[in-house]
Structure 1
């Protein structure tokens, strides 16, 4: 304290304050009790401050920030992480799965396969009771035989009509000969009448005979025309009968086709799915009996439209199959879809409204796989895959 009562300002050292707060370095002895309060009153109190970090902590923080920025650039495929590889997880194994269904109705008489069997093209899968269809074939054959007999009868009628036409032609010639004789008789009678050797009565009789001969010629010609029309009628009718015979042949073949369709066969090689048909079940045309999965498969990868800018047919591709423990298979880009997937939907989106949100469309890329790969035999349609296409590769 100064003489006027003001406190004396002293320079304090932080190390001295630390020593004053340290219980180990406190003074001992008779004057210790009085020295401690004086020291506490003279040292000013300071607020809490975070500990100052060293150079290592600063470098670590900077490194974490740089790593975060790099991760963001990598996730968004921005430089310097741009790559010629285009990848998608929206990809699946596809195949020409065929539904096996009958073309005729009936009760199932035999089921010759089981679930997941491997079948060959033409192998019998099931049989439908064919007794009704056999009878239809016989009925069609009998109807065709009747039509053939009718056609043969028409041929006989045509020959008869042609013979009648020939007879009518002869009748016309006979009538003309009679007419010529009547005309000659009439000429002689006219000469005799002029000489007075023949009476008028005989002349009238000769003239009547002439007129009768002329009428006979006209009648014979008319009958010949009728006979000619009859021949043409038979010919026209025979054409219709030939068409009926052809229809009978078609009916027989149709009945035979229905009979053959009672045997349901595999259309191609492949493996069957679950066989849903049972013995004695009544099935109709189109009833799903089972499915057939052929061995040929491929990958349909749905890339975002921005990813397909550099994808071309012939480029190399790799696919990773989830169902095979992540096994990788190599393939080649075969073709690209002609339109986005939304264009093939039943109800297409209509964006001609005031509210519009741009949504990235998907373009399907078909990838052909190498059939020589051992893993190719284990692929099944519907498996999920991860597809990658190297856009820098060439055909």
Structure 2
């Protein structure tokens, strides 16, 4: 039906309906927006107000590098990545065949020099007696000065030979002690209870002194390093409780305490520290590392917390 043919009352009745639907289209999104805003504000007020947090955080620990003290070829590796090793456990054997041969040779030389010492001692005692007798005879004009000098020189020679024999024993003992120490160093032991995080070498490799073979972590001595913006450091204090979420265990809540606040920003220890002397300066909010302890939940089985895992921390602001 044509609207021009409809009664005027019908057209007037449609106007309020159009206004109602127009308002409804505006009010519903506004209501949803206000509801979401209220939820966000309520969540912030209930759970975030009075806290500072960061997700720039990870589990940290002191790495222990297992390396040799001597040059050698690896003949045995007793662990692999992920293995737990005990304190005092032998992790690496180096080839000791050459050292054992040297030990046998030095042992034989030491035995020989020890046998020569009594002979040198007997010769020295005889030379002392001869010189004593020659001294009395020379004073009594029984022998000539040349004969007396000959007895004196014989005594000096015997004393020198005895000293050489003793020094040879000392030198042989020292060389043998060095070889024995090197033999002990062919067995490399773990200095602590830990987990092998990285294996750097394989059997057959020739390793230099100080070259890494394993890297261990003591999992009983781990902590969290959280990098906070410098603008938040003022509200953090040592001893403050910390709520911790570990990405690998989203259903568990861990706790801890602030142990210490770094004395410098993280950028100061980067490979290339910032240099603003050139005049090209852009202000960037720096981050300061905060060391945090971490404790396992009391009612759950211990979680396997490994260095490098990402975490989120939330720290209650200190009271002014």
TM range (shorter): 0.7 to 0.9
Query: 2:255–2:296: 8 Å Cα contact kept in structure 1?
Result: no
- Residues 1:255 and 2:176 aligned together: no
Distance 2:122 2:296 in 1: 68
Question: Which sections of structure 2, spanning at least 5 residues, go unmatched?
Answer: 9-18
Q: How does 1:263-342 map to 2 (within 5 A)?
A: 263-273=187-197, 275=199, 277-279=201-203, 281-285=204-208, 286=210, 288-296=212-220, 297-325=222-250, 327-342=252-267
Number of aligned pairs? 303
Distance 2:199 2:138 in 1: 81
Tell me how far 1:306 sits from its aligned partner. 2.4
TM-score (norm 2): 0.73
Residues 312, 168 of structure 1: alpha-carbon distance in 2 compared, 3 angstrom cutoff? farther
Decide which of 110, 117, 122 is 1:144's aligned counterpart.
110
Q: For residue 25 of structure 1, what is the aligned residue in structure 2?
A: 7
* Higher radius of gyration, 1 or 2: 1
Residues 339, 165 of structure 1: alpha-carbon distance in 2 compared, 3 angstrom cutoff? farther
Q: How does 1:150-299 map to 2 (within 5 A)?
A: 151-175=117-141, 219=145, 223=149, 227=152, 242-273=166-197, 275=199, 277-279=201-203, 281-285=204-208, 286=210, 288-296=212-220, 297-299=222-224
TM-score (norm 1): 0.61
Give per-residue Cα distances to partners, 1:296-319, cap 9 Å, x unaligned. Answer: 211111112222224333222222
Tell me how far 1:321 sits from its aligned partner. 0.2
- Higher share of residues assigned strand: 2
Query: 1:171–1:220: 8 Å Cα contact kept in structure 2?
Result: no
Distance 2:313 2:184 in 1: 45
Query: 1:340–1:362: 8 Å Cα contact kept in structure 2?
Result: yes
What SS does the aligned partner of 2:223 have?
strand
Tell me how far 1:295 sits from its aligned partner. 1.9
Decide which of 82, 88, 91 is 1:125's aligned counterpart.
91
What SS does the aligned partner of 2:274 have?
coil
Q: For residue 368 of structure 1, what is the aligned residue in structure 2?
A: 293
Q: For residue 356 of structure 1, what is the aligned residue in structure 2?
A: 281
Q: How does 1:95-110 map to 2 (within 5 A)?
A: 95-110=61-76
Query: 2:254–2:297: 8 Å Cα contact kept in structure 1?
Result: no
Question: Which sections of structure 1, spanning at least 5 residues, go unmatched?
Answer: 1-20, 27-50, 179-212
